[in-house]
Amino acid sequence: MYCRFEDRLAGQALELVGFCRRIEARTPQELAGALAAVEAAWRAGHWVALMLDFELGEWLLPEVLDGAAGGPCGNTGEPGRSAIGRAAQRCSETGAGLQAHGCGCAGEAADAARAHAPAEPVPAAATDGDGKAAPARQRPRLRALVFDGAVKGQPWPTPADAGSRILDLKPRTAHDEYLKQVEVIRAGIGRGEFYQVNYTQPMDLRVQGDPRELYARIAAANPIAHAAYIEDGTQTILSFSPELFVARQGATLTARPMKGTAPRDADPQRDEALGRELHASAKNRAENLMIVDLLRNDLGRLAEPGSVKVDELFTLERYPSVWTMTSTIRAQAPHATLGDILTALFPCGSVTGAPKIAAMRHIRRAENAPRGLYCGSIGWLAPDGDFSLNVAIRTLVLDADGNGIYGAGGGIVHDSDAESEWQECLWKARILAS
């Protein structure tokens, strides 16, 4: 097991050391115990690496599957007080649950989780989001690796080229089908079914050479704040995400949704013009503001009254391959547990669309495979309760044979152009050629 997190904008790295154990949730019935075990681990002085599949949201927001009334609050109106959240919090408060499947409140947790079980399984023939067939509901949607400690250091240096590279990158969705689905979404917006849907596709590929070298080379060429390299015993994960999902420092929660992207250009004047066009774009500002409002509402479920603030709106950020537009939202939530926070916020609204439930329902119908870790979250939890979780975009997942998957997509609104959205998928994959 190996876990490394890098903030290359700050020149900092965090390597977790002294692997202890693994925690997983493979079914809704296991989720409460797994969340309690994660909470208990950091309270006991451990560091935790957390990996959350996008489809974990179907357990936290069961309305996506069964159309039941009420939201992540379980119809109580209280922030983060779903049945799963209550069971997980009780376990963590009593210190139970250090083993993923040995939670002292397992009976209540299982009963709560059964109420959140999907009404219909993912078809057994579907891929598992990392390119391989998997039986319905058996892929872990929450994975946590528990470590004794962490060592702070510098990001890996740029390696000498020893031959690691990406081969045979191929979108899994045909061009015409992608355009068709964009038009289906636009029609749904016209009917008032949703305002925005984040539509994505997987890209299959092979990796030749050492994944660590590949990660170090791509990360050095594309410095961002929320990178991660993880070998978890079953997969190797290379995440080059520039987007923060949520971080906690003391009582403060910070979210930085990224919505609005444009390609960079080799010509300096043209490049600056592309950045200005993005920042001034009414379409992209509308997309960004829609997600800001969604996240403000999500944070309001668990924040102290009046504490949710938009600190920055439409900040233009420059990365080697893209321009992006990011906003910053902060809130005070001193009593929120990890389970509360995930129940209120996950998945990040920037990778679902709005309204979240309606957008996720359409994503499940329209996309040709589960997303898996892509558009989920990867991050670390510290023994003092602080944590940082990214949005797992720009993320490459490899199996032991070097076969991999990389996802790309974007937010579709009523005035989106289908061909432009297809091209956006392609240039979001440019990072892999670094």
Residue 308's φ and ψ, nearest 5 degrees, are: -80, 120
Catalytic residue among 6, 58, 213, 259: 259
Cα–Cα distance measured from residue 354 to residue 352, given in angstroms and rounded to the nearest whole number: 7
Domain boundaries, the chain: 2-159+169-433
Residue 129 is predicted with a pLDDT of 42
**202 CB-near residues (< 8 Å, 6+ apart):** 129, 131, 171, 172, 173, 368, 369, 371, 374, 405, 406, 407
Helix or strand run (H / E) with residue 387: strand 387-390
Decide: helix, strand or coil at residue 105. coil
**93 CB-near residues (< 8 Å, 6+ apart):** none
Q: Band of the pLDDT at 80, cuts 50, 70, 90? A: very low
Percent share of the chain, pLDDT over 70 = 83
- Tell me how many degrees the CA angle 110-112-116 measures, rounded to the nearest 5: 105
| Residue 356 annotated among the catalytic residues of the structure | no
Token pair belonging to 83: 């049945």
The domain defined by 2-159+169-433 folds into Anthranilate synthase (3.60.120)
Cα–Cα distance measured from residue 278 to residue 76, given in angstroms and rounded to the nearest whole number: 41
Cα–Cα distance measured from residue 176 to residue 418, given in angstroms and rounded to the nearest whole number: 10
Residue 321 is predicted with a pLDDT of 84
Residue 87 is predicted with a pLDDT of 40
Residue 67 is predicted with a pLDDT of 54
Average pLDDT, the chain: 86
Residue 117 is predicted with a pLDDT of 36
Catalytic residue among 243, 287, 367, 424: 243
- Could you read off the pLDDT of 274-320 as tens digits, one per residue? 999 999 999 899 889 999 999 999 999 999 999 999 999 999 999 88
Residue 320 is predicted with a pLDDT of 87
More confident residue, 336 or 434: 336
220-228 mean pLDDT: 96
Residue 139 is predicted with a pLDDT of 85
Residue 126 is predicted with a pLDDT of 36
Residue 95 is predicted with a pLDDT of 39
For the chain, the distance separating the N- and C-terminal CA atoms, rounded to the nearest angstrom, is 26
Token pair belonging to 360: 């996720």
Using the predicted structure, report yes or no on whether residue 114 has a pLDDT greater than 80. no
Taking the C-alpha atoms of 41, 45, 51 and 56 in order, what is their torsion angle to the nearest 10 degrees?
A: 40
- Please say whether the beta carbons of 113 and 29 come within 8 A: yes
Quick one: CA dihedral 84, 85, 86, 90, positive or negative?
Answer: positive
Q: Band of the pLDDT at 366, cuts 50, 70, 90? A: very high
Cα–Cα distance measured from residue 49 to residue 3, given in angstroms and rounded to the nearest whole number: 7
81-102 mean pLDDT: 40
Cα–Cα distance measured from residue 247 to residue 272, given in angstroms and rounded to the nearest whole number: 31
Quick one: CA dihedral 140, 56, 288, 243, positive or negative?
Answer: negative
Token pair belonging to 198: 């984040």
Query: Is residue 420 packed enough to be buried (19+ CB in 10 Å), middle (13-18) or exposed (0-12)?
Result: exposed
Residue 19 is predicted with a pLDDT of 98
pTM over 0.85: no
Decide: helix, strand or coil at residue 425. helix
- Could you read off the pLDDT of 24-56 as tens digits, one per residue? 999 999 999 999 999 999 999 999 999 999 999
| Residue 243 annotated among the catalytic residues of the structure | yes
